[in-house]
Structure 1
C-alpha cells in the first residue's frame, strides 16, 4: 500500500470511529435507553437501574398495595373489606412480620392476594453489600415458601430506598422491584379524609398507577372502603400488581414507568 493510500485508509477509519462515538454521546445526552431490562442512562451518562413505579397501559387499571412491617390488629378487617368489594391487592411483608403472623400470611394467600417481599428486617438496603441484600431478600422469600409453597417475585425496598446494587440483586433473585407513584401517607395518621383524597384525587393517579398503603396504619381500614369505591366510580379496575406489570420484554423510562418495548 502506498503512503497516500495508508493515510486515506486511516482517515476513513478515524471518521467512522468518530461517528460512532458522537452517536453514543448524543444518545447519552438525550437520556435514551441503551441498556436492556430497566437500566436507563441519565443526562449525566450514569447508569440507573430503576424499579417499577407505575405501568404504561391504555387499560383503566390501578393496583392497591399494602406494606406489612408492623402491627396486625386490622389485617382481618382489611381482608374482609377487600372480599366484600371483590378486590385483589398485593401485600409486601417483612420476614419479621411473617414470623409473627404466619396464619395471616396464609389467609392473605388463601384469599387470592399477591404475596410480596419487603425484606427480612426492613433495613436501609442501599447501605448493604450485594450479599447482604440477597440475604435480606431470600430469608423472607424462604419463610413464605415454607408457609405457603409460593415463590414470591415482587419486591418492595424498605423506605422506598434503593440503588443499582439492590435492584440488580433483586433481579438475580428473580424479583421485580416495585415502588409506587401514588402515596396515601396513611402512616402519618392525618385522618380518613386525607387518605381518601391522596388516593382518589391525585394528579399522579392514572392508568397503571400503583398505590401505597399500610395494613398497620391507624386510619387505613376506615378509609379503605371509600378509596375502593372512589376509584371504581372513576372507572378504574383494581388489580394486584402481578396482573398489572409486564413480564419479559420491557423497558422502564426515567420516571419509573414500565413500558413494553
Structure 2
C-alpha cells in the first residue's frame, strides 16, 4: 500500500471515530453538562458582581472638608471611602459569596484641606477619626520625664512633646532623648510668656528662637511644625505669626489639670470621662501624669482609640477597622 492510500485510510478512520463520538449519547450528555456548568459559573460571577455593586453604597462614606468651626476653630478634613467593585469582586470570587469583610476600599480625598484654611488654632483632630494624641508641655518636671518616656516605650506609644526653648537649651540630653524615642517635638515658646499680651516682634522672636534651639539640640532635619502657646494664651496675631513661621497652633480638648497634683485615680477618671475621638490630651511631666500614664493608655486602647502624634492625628487618612 503506498503512502497516499495510507493517508486516505488514516483520515477515514479519524473521521469515523469522530462521528461515533458525536453520535454517542453519553458524549452528548457530557458536553451539555460542561456547557451548563460554564453558564452557571458565569451567571454566579455576574450575580456576585451585581450584588457588590448594589450593596457598595451602604459601606461608602463621603469625604469631610476641612473647615473653620465657630467653637472648635480649625477642623481637619477626613477622607471618604468608596468601594472598589472590581477588586472586591476578585477578593470574593473564590467563595462566590458576598462578604463585607472582604470589601476593598479606595479613599477619597476632600477638596478643602487644613492648609487651605486661614490661620486658626486646632483643638482636636477630626471628630470621626478614632485617634487621640498626648500633648506633653515641657518647661520643668525633669524628675518625672524619664519615667514617662519609659512608659511610652513600654506601651509602644508616640506622643508630641512641646518643648520650651530655654528648657531645651538647659537640658539638651533630655531633649535629644525625647527625639530619639521617636516622639514628635513641637514649639512651646522660649521663656513661657503670656503670648496674648506679648508684642508682635517679641512673639516672633520667642517662637523663632525656640525652633532654632530645638533643631540644634536634637539634631533634627526640620523645624517643628506645631506651636503650643504657654497656658493656652494667645490672640489671633499669635496664630498668624506662628503660621508665617510655618507652624500650626495647637490647643487641647481634654485637660489632665495635672499641675494640681491629683491622685492617679482622679486624673484617670477625669480624662476617661471626657475622652472622645480626635481628642488632644494636655499633660505635663508631673508625678500625677507619670503615675497615671500607663493606665490611661491601656483604657484608651480598650476603647479602640489609636494613640498617635499630632501630625498623624491631623492627617486626612481614614482609619478603617
State the TM-score, normalizing by the size of structure 1: 0.74
**Match for residue 6 of structure 1?**
none
Greater relative contact order structure (CA < 8 Å, 6+ sep): 1
**Residue 249 of structure 2: aligned partner:** 177
Task: Determine the C-alpha separation between the residues in 1 that align with 2:141 and 2:129.
Answer: 34
Structure with greater proportional helix content: 2
Q: What is the number of residues matched between the two proteins?
A: 204
Matches within 5 A, 1:123-162: 123-150=193-220, 151-162=223-234
- Structure 2 gap segments, 5+ residues each: 1-69, 75-114, 317-321
1:213 CA drift (Å): 0.5
Q: Distance in 2 between matches of 1:101 and 1:212?
A: 22
RMSD (CA atoms): 2.1
Q: Does 1:109 align with 2:179?
A: yes
Aligned to 1:240: 309
Aligned equivalents of 2:171 and 2:266: distance in 1? 29
- Please list, as runs of the form range in 1=range in 2, the aligned pairs for 1:18-97 lying within 5 A after superposition: 37-39=116-118, 50-97=120-167
**Mapped contact 2:172–2:218 kept (Cα < 8 A):** no
Tell me which residue corresponds to 1:219.
Answer: 288
SS at match of 1:235: coil
- 1:196 corresponds to: 268
Deviations 1:75-103 (A, max 9, x none): 11111100000000000110121022110
Q: Which runs of 5+ in 1 are unaligned?
A: 1-29, 40-48, 248-261
Residues in 1 aligned to 2:192 and 2:298: alpha-carbon distance in whole angstroms: 32
Structure with bigger gyration radius: 2
Map of 2:235 onto structure 1: 163
Task: Kindly indicate whether the alpha-carbon contact (under 8 Å) linking 1:187 and 1:218 is maintained by their aligned counterparts in 2.
Answer: no
Distance in 1 of aligned mates of 2:313 and 2:174: 24
Partner Cα distance (2:278, 2:129) in 1: 8
